[in-house]
Amino acid sequence: MDGASLMENTVYQRFAKSALNNPHLPFLCYPSSPTRDYYPEGKEFSYGSILTIVDNLALRYLESGYSEGHRIALLAGNRAEHFFHLLALNRIGAAVVTLNPEYLSHELAYGISFPECSLVATVSPWIDKVKNEAESLLPTVGVIDVLNLPDKFPSPAHPPIKVPTEELDRPALIIYTSGTTGRPKGCIISNRSCLAAGDSYADAGGLLQFHAGVERLYIPLPAFHMNVSIYTLNSMTKLNSCIILQEKFSASTWWADIIESKATCFHYMGIIPPLLVKAAASEDDRRHNVKFGQGAGVDPLVREQFEERFGVPLVEAWGMTETSRAIQNCGIPRCLEPRAFGRPRLPLEVLVVDDDDKALPFNSPGELLIRAVGSDPRAGFFSGYLNLPEQTEDAWKGGWFHTGDVVSQREDGMLFFVDRRKNIIRRSGENIAATEIEEALIMSLAVQSVAALSVADEFHDEEVMVCVVLMPGYKSCKKVAESIMSDMKNLLAGFKLPAWIVFVESLPTTGTQKIQKNLIFPDGEDPRKDPRSYDVRLVKRRLRKEE
């Protein structure tokens, strides 16, 4: 096969083209990490070596009966096997359903059964949890260990689902994103959407200046998120460049990892820059060759301190799984005003509207709507929410995608983030549905009614706070707060547990009995300092360790 003549209609084809043209270049790099349970001494994979692995793996899937239209759940953390299987399945036209390793058993069951996955590809330490769940609730779904593959994979548990004949429009991934209904929604992401994400990032320009064949992007974020598996993967393969992965963020090893791996850029979440700024000064602070970092949620003061100390511009961006592409504050000169996140670039266009979807004047806060210019406003966006056609159409009412985020736009096009309309708590990059937490808490015998909301947090951007009206006979005290935490530990994944519990006599409601969360605390008050508030972060940490 000749790389020059290969089409780029799929995620696999884009990767294969780069691999055939430059097989010797590095594709995946893992810096050394004695505490990581794989590649502790570090490891690097070339494009050519991975192409061989992927092609052989694709053949094995085909021989086992898998083909276009099948859906396979993938739970391999940040291991190289995540990419091996993602690319192999993409080659045969199957869709990958990425799963969060922190899901509890019932959450895994939903994540696997809702999209009718025909197989689960996973690895220790999650394989036992998945196998137990498969045996009890998903008896027809096979499970394979990606580190110890069987001679023949289990037969597909479901027949293939009909997919578009056009390769570009076939589903490549299904990625869960939390909604306001309690259950996460599965975003169907096509090959077209994946490639559009890669094109948009690779061609951003300004401070985000890439050079093909030389970039090395350090990203300590989870592979089951769109950032790694859509945004980063498809931009780096377009550029024949390298993805540097770490299993998770560590302030103590951040710069050592970047120096060892020769990173030229990195991705961050809002919690990362402040922790790096607070770390002790080191000779590594300026020994790197990083050109920029890209992420979201950095306080302007922290950004200023970070850039002065480390000499790296932090480029704030906005994006969603549904949009695939991002808007970045990467122009030169960069806008340094608080919460600026850039101007939309073609083919994206935006509109800021009021509650009736009427366009607002410049500098007025309203919901951000976004679409593609041209005859198809959905071009390059997600294909829809899995099995939720009404919610998909509601999100696209009027021909614009409704983000649920409140922004303002200046006359020159610059966008500024204001707040989020959706009932979502964003903790360390995880979207947590407040409804899901409320549904779990109401199961406690001590809880009469509850409202979950986000509060500011120095380490996680946002944390979970719950306001609880107790049942008669229960007293508001720390012991009861800890008891409620114990009640929830088997209902919610650890990262979703509250960090703060506030006992209140009543919750303000509308005439239709909807809780008015904005009226629980006075404007300008920090709910964490409320005298009724109990700090249960230590309990949360202990319960997470017990998972």
Query: What are the residue boundaries of the structural domains of the chain, listed by start?
Result: 11-330, 343-422, 425-545
pLDDT the model gives residue 181:
44
CATH for 425-545 is 3.30.300.30
pLDDT the model gives residue 547:
65
In the chain, DSSP finds a helix count (H) and a strand count (E) of 15, 26
Helix (H) or strand (E) holding 44: strand 43-46
| Residue 67 in tokens | 């083909």
- Rg of the Cα trace of the chain? 23
Low-confidence residues of the chain, pLDDT below 50? 179-181, 510-512
Q: How far is CA 292 from CA 76, 225, 245, 312, in A?
A: 29, 21, 17, 5
Taking phi first (over 0 means left), then psi (-120 to 50 degrees means alpha), and beta for anything else, what does residue 404 get? left
Amino acid at 269: M
d(CA 255, CA 152): 43
Q: What is the DSSP string of 459-493?
A: TTEEEEEEEEEEPTT---SHHHHHHHHHHHTTTS-
Q: How far is CA 110 from CA 96, 113, 156, 176, 446, in A?
A: 15, 5, 18, 11, 27
From the list 62, 71, 161, 193, the residue with the least C-alpha distance to 120 is 71
Here the contacts of 488-491 (C-beta below 8 Å, separation 24 or greater) are: 488/440, 488/441, 488/443, 488/444, 489/543, 489/546, 490/104, 491/104, 491/440, 491/443
Say if domain 343-422 classifies as CATH 2.40.30.10: no
pLDDT the model gives residue 3:
67
The CATH-assigned architecture of domain 11-330 is: 3-Layer(aba) Sandwich (3.40)
Adjacency order of strands within the sheet including 533-535: 447-457, 461-470, 500-503, 533-535
pLDDT the model gives residue 350:
98
pLDDT the model gives residue 511:
40
d(CA 456, CA 427): 10
From the list 484, 524, 487, the residue with the least C-alpha distance to 502 is 484
The overall average pLDDT reported for the chain is 91
pLDDT the model gives residue 422:
64
Quote the DSSP letter at residue 221.
S
**Token pair 């951003």: residue:** 204
